[in-house]
Structure 1
Amino acid sequence: MVSRGSPFASGNALTTDISAWRFSVNTLCSLPLDEIKNDCTPRHVRMGIFSEVNPTPLAQDEVKLIAASRDVLVNVLDMDPAISVTNGFVQFVSGCPVTNSTPLAHRYGGHQFGKWCSQLGDGRAHILGEYINAKGERWELQLKGSGLTPYSRDLDGRAVLRSSIREFLCSEAMYYLGVETTRSAALIVGSDAVYRDQFYSGQIRSERAAILLRVAPSWFRFGSLEILARQGELLHLKMLVDYIIENHFNDINLLEVENRYVVLFGRIAHRTVELAVRWQSLGFAHGVLNTDNMSILGLTIDYGPFGFVEAYDSKFVPNRSDRFGKYSLDKQLDVVLWNLEKLSAAFEPFLDENQRLYASNVLKMLGGYGRRKLRSVMRSKLGLITDVEEDQQLLAMLLSMMEETGADYTMTFRQLALVNPDTMIDYDVVKNHWSLSRLMCHDYYTSFAEFYRRRLYSEGVYNDAERKERMNAVNPLYVLRNWMAQSAIEKAEQNDFSEVVLIQKILETPYSEQIEAEQHGYAASPPSLAYRLRISCSS
């Protein structure tokens, strides 16, 4: 059912003119607002969840559309995809004033690398408003890179082209991989200059500003609740938590369920752990798992120095700034559990002794829950159906071999599906699969192959075609490798956006072989430059 002012009913025509498109009623404005309006001066805000502040549009002389997501435009925003090439739409994304929009910058805090950092907030992002689409779904539209807010720490409020391309591509890629995530609708670039020390080396250079239009059911994070609890703003905290229940967990009865707050915490905790398991199974490292980057809906949010591991390394760290590997690939689940402990503290003012004990028990059980979930997902990556105790040994053996031989994480699982278990030790068969052939160099490869073959046959009548189908359904052929994104960025810096568009297209069907992807080597052995790439927080 369409609700709260959606202009479209199912079956109606898609909007072709942005001037005819309208936001729905902005329920976020019912939450406490900063008393000072439209003041972009960085300052410490009290007693407000949002600050009302307008975006700062990019200079309009050379604003260009880089790419847009057809799926988001059509199926989320009820827009005809042709709208993306219109001047009105480009102005919309560039931050120009919009009819019936009340732009808001969100105040939140966070634990960053284990330390409380107090006020953070949307320093270069503006939530333009809410939209209830023809399917009755509620979405919040946000511009990233849209100018100063009271929460700006870098004093320019802009985002650079390179980081914006990475987020546009990866958030859409994650969606098609089946990972819970925010979405990207459109990306533009302008002539405005921004200055960044990309690797914090003292080498500041001028870069081009870009703005990303992204959407999510909610942009609230762990830090949204943490800052209110830390500042003692308990009335506002209760209003926010009740709002979250009413709008995002409305099956938790707000008026009648005495335990609604502890139930909400449990829901958030399980969603978050399940998200981390999904990341781990794909070899994805977020890079900056601070509590201000953790969504209360269990979404992948705020793509920064992320990376998909290539030559498998359990200690993989995609963030150049993470010198001690705090957020390495193998630590993600533990970090998420630590972050959930910090979130639980924000709920404590509303919990009695029994409810606090329940929340504590939830936290104690989450580690085991996450490990069981991960074993189940990893088992499916091997095409196994039943659950037996020795599977943990089989998986550990495979990952250890991959790490010691430098076999590619994504392609090893994909190529295992291509080789019949009876021919896994035949060099003439395996040599045609570049990552599997690396794995074959390990001294224990033959033992692993026999272990795997025996395990597959133990499940009953064996059908290799069915195993391959199962494995290909959960093991992608294409992921957004850093070298792919870097190649697209370098072309985009010269106003050639073709590779951004190509990669976007390829990653919309990551589980199926595609001719163009193969021609560009997106599933081939990575070029040597891939192993030298490092990404920083600078964006």
Structure 2
Amino acid sequence: MNIKDIKQPFIETFPGDFSGNPMQRITPKVVFSTTLPAGFESPQLIAFNEKLSDEIGLGKFEDTDLDFLVGNNLPANIQSYATAYAGHQFGNWAGQLGDGRAILAGEIINSSGQKTEIQWKGSGATPYSRHADGRAVLRSSVREYLMSEAMYHLGVPTTRALSLCFTGENVIRDMMYDGNPQNEKGAVIIRTAESFLRFGHYELASAQREYNTLQELLDYTIQNYFPEIISSDTEKYKDFFKNVCTRTADMITEWFRVGFVHGVMNTDNMSILGLTIDYGPYSMMDEYDLNFTPNTTDLPGRRYAFGKQGQISQWNLWQLANALHPIIKDEKFLEDTLNNYGTYFWETHDKMLCKKFGFDELLEGDEEFFSNWQGLMQELQFDHTLFFNQLEKLKVESDLKSLFKDISYTDLTDDLLKKLAHFIEKYKERLSKNSISKEESLHLMQKTNPKFILRNYLLYQCIDEVNEGKTELLKKLTHALENPYHEIYPEFSVKRPGNYDDISGCSTLSCSS
């Protein structure tokens, strides 16, 4: 890899140097702290994303690159660092947080001028680790490595994963926070993004009343990541906030399209660029349930349930607006922009649902149709992804029980089948209002509805195998997730097997990583 081409995007712009000392501490008036990865004596490569490496300009992997992938023996041109940010966690102000297990190596610029930040996750403590060890376990690292790439290939804005390595160390984690800590294998991933800036970076500067730093950070962000903003003075900050709102709504809409539940939508886990970031206790949805949350920490309130992700994103944007108010200084603008967010989001969401059903445009009455569909899905306990796959196969002569019985997580009684039949008739009526052909409608569905999603039970199986040193399923899942709109492995296009219900680390997940 071309490691010597890595540059420092942040470090020459904002003050803050703690000389590489990773002691955990409060760091007021600081945007970043220089720090070094812990270093590992016996690392082992598990997976390397050759396609991504070529795309961002790092080139092919060589055996001598293994040290860099875990943060060992860094080249002289690299000064690694961690950033400070704040955030609202589960609706409460948490104060200073920061990169507790993530350390930035720098930025690579490829031959097309594309900038990509490179970050280790799990490589050791930083000044923001809050008395934790800065390590990561294998299970959470496999989950982030695979799912971030799965989301990318699904067409969802996201960070991406370059590599996955064993560290050769064991770390102790209490996975379910039940007083039963266990030794687990440690791992490091390298993840990439155009930028890892979060809502929390701006919240921290504002909360500390460091308004000059806040404005500098905004100017830096706009100049480097929002080239479409050409206004000046206060207007550029207003355009910035509107752009962040739009990107966030578009990202959440994509989550709804593929059935993704983030599980921990704290403001410090919200990307300023509208990227899916921090793959903690997430899940792809099996049976459709607006109230589903994969995160045990989110029970019983279910703040971050699937169906609430739109309103929570708006709440998070309110917190960002509060942080930016000292610079924008226009309460009415901020209020109007946030009030308009809901209108834009739900209109975008419903247009997305139109494509999933094969409708060419949003018509009056579609909102009621979608609402009825949501109720039916929950009552029939249909698998979200498989429902649309089967709907694409619907013919005039189709027997509904035969077509849909294998995608339900309950028995389809005669009463439920009658309700399904009624809905299908309404669906056919709505299809008849299309101005496109049946073939065009089907094509619209096929490019919108994935055939493969990375389900939790598949990840659970994969983690078990990788833990034993096996990578066959990892490679198979990687091939499948790179082609999510094609059914490459029919055995993956089935509903979750019953023996994976209520299994810790599969159907239920914690924030432990």
Normalised-by-shorter TM-score class: over 0.9
> For 1:512 and 1:406, how far apart are their aligned partners in 2?
24
Tell me the residue number matched to 1:10: none
Q: Which amino acid aligns with 2:35?
A: V
One of 5, 9, 14 as aligned partner of 1:32: 14
Tell me the residue number matched to 1:113: 90
**How many residue pairs get matched?**
505
**For structure 1, which runs of at least 5 residues remain unmatched after alignment?**
1-17
One of 40, 46, 52 as aligned partner of 2:34: 52
Is the counterpart of residue 473 in structure 1 residue 473 in structure 2? no
1:97 Cα deviation from its structure 2 partner: 2.8
Q: Is the 8 A contact 2:17 2:32 kept in 1?
A: no
Is the counterpart of residue 123 in structure 1 residue 100 in structure 2? yes
Tell me the residue number matched to 1:208: 185
SS for the counterpart of 2:318 is helix
CA deviation digits over 1:466-485, x for unaligned, max 9?
A: 32222111000111100000
Tell me the residue number matched to 2:475: 501
Gap change, CA 1:39 and 1:391, over 3 Å in 2: same
Is the counterpart of residue 527 in structure 1 residue 497 in structure 2? yes
Q: Is the 8 A contact 2:380 2:410 kept in 1?
A: no
Tell me the residue number matched to 2:203: 226
> For 1:148 and 1:436, how far apart are their aligned partners in 2?
43
Q: Which amino acid aligns with 2:486?
A: S
Tell me the residue number matched to 2:420: 445
Gap change, CA 1:293 and 1:460, over 3 Å in 2: closer
Q: Which amino acid aligns with 2:493?
A: A
1:427 Cα deviation from its structure 2 partner: 4.3
Q: Is the 8 A contact 2:87 2:203 kept in 1?
A: yes
Q: Which amino acid aligns with 1:406?
A: Q
One of 369, 372, 393 as aligned partner of 2:368: 393
1:447 Cα deviation from its structure 2 partner: 1.2
Is the counterpart of residue 195 in structure 1 residue 172 in structure 2? yes
Is the counterpart of residue 456 in structure 1 residue 431 in structure 2? yes
CA deviation digits over 1:192-227, x for unaligned, max 9?
A: 111100000000000111000111010110000001
> For 1:91 and 1:438, how far apart are their aligned partners in 2?
53
Q: Is the 8 A contact 2:400 2:417 kept in 1?
A: no
Q: Is the 8 A contact 1:108 1:225 kept in 2?
A: yes
Per the normalisation by structure 1, the TM-score is 0.90
Q: State the Cα RMSD in Å.
A: 1.8
Tell me the residue number matched to 1:163: 140
Q: Which amino acid aligns with 1:72?
A: L
1:283 Cα deviation from its structure 2 partner: 1.3
Gap change, CA 1:78 and 1:36, over 3 Å in 2: closer
Q: Pairwise mapping of residues 353-432 of structure 1 onto structure 2 (< 5 A)?
A: 355-420=330-395, 422-424=396-398, 426-427=399-400, 430=403
Tell me the residue number matched to 2:25: 43
1:462 Cα deviation from its structure 2 partner: 4.2
Gap change, CA 1:456 and 1:77, over 3 Å in 2: same
Q: Which amino acid aligns with 1:51?
A: S
> For 1:114 and 1:283, how far apart are their aligned partners in 2?
23
CA deviation digits over 1:467-526, x for unaligned, max 9?
A: 222211100011110000000001111111221221111100000111xx22xx211132
Q: Is the 8 A contact 1:415 1:435 kept in 2?
A: no
Q: Alignment identity in percent?
A: 34
> For 2:499 and 2:131, how far apart are their aligned partners in 1?
31
Tell me the residue number matched to 1:537: 511
SS for the counterpart of 1:117 is strand
Q: Which amino acid aligns with 1:371?
A: W
Q: Is the 8 A contact 1:417 1:467 kept in 2?
A: no
Q: Which amino acid aligns with 2:36?
A: N
> For 1:453 and 1:401, how far apart are their aligned partners in 2?
16
Q: Pairwise mapping of residues 24-103 of structure 1 onto structure 2 (< 5 A)?
A: 24-60=6-42, 63-80=43-60, 83=61, 86-99=62-75, 100-103=77-80
One of 174, 179, 183 as aligned partner of 2:160: 183
Per the normalisation by structure 2, the TM-score is 0.95
Gap change, CA 1:109 and 1:494, over 3 Å in 2: same
CA deviation digits over 1:61-105, x for unaligned, max 9?
A: xx221112222111113412xx1xx33221111111322111010
Tell me the residue number matched to 1:262: 238
One of 273, 278, 282 as aligned partner of 2:258: 282
> For 1:417 and 1:437, how far apart are their aligned partners in 2?
22
> For 1:428 and 1:34, how far apart are their aligned partners in 2?
64
1:145 Cα deviation from its structure 2 partner: 0.3
Gap change, CA 1:291 and 1:434, over 3 Å in 2: closer
1:116 Cα deviation from its structure 2 partner: 0.6
Q: Is the 8 A contact 1:401 1:439 kept in 2?
A: no
> For 2:46 and 2:359, how far apart are their aligned partners in 1?
42
Gap change, CA 1:250 and 1:470, over 3 Å in 2: closer
**For structure 2, which runs of at least 5 residues remain unmatched after alignment?**
none
> For 2:323 and 2:334, how far apart are their aligned partners in 1?
12
> For 1:472 and 1:394, how far apart are their aligned partners in 2?
21
CA deviation digits over 1:113-133, x for unaligned, max 9?
A: 000111110111110011111
> For 1:168 and 1:89, how far apart are their aligned partners in 2?
18
Q: Which amino acid aligns with 2:456?
A: N
Q: Is the 8 A contact 1:43 1:150 kept in 2?
A: yes
Q: Which amino acid aligns with 1:473?
A: K
One of 299, 309, 319 as aligned partner of 2:295: 319
1:261 Cα deviation from its structure 2 partner: 0.9
Q: Which amino acid aligns with 1:484?
A: L
Between stretches 336-345 and 390-399, larger displacement belongs to 390-399
SS for the counterpart of 1:276 is helix
SS for the counterpart of 1:184 is strand
One of 504, 511, 525 as aligned partner of 2:485: 511
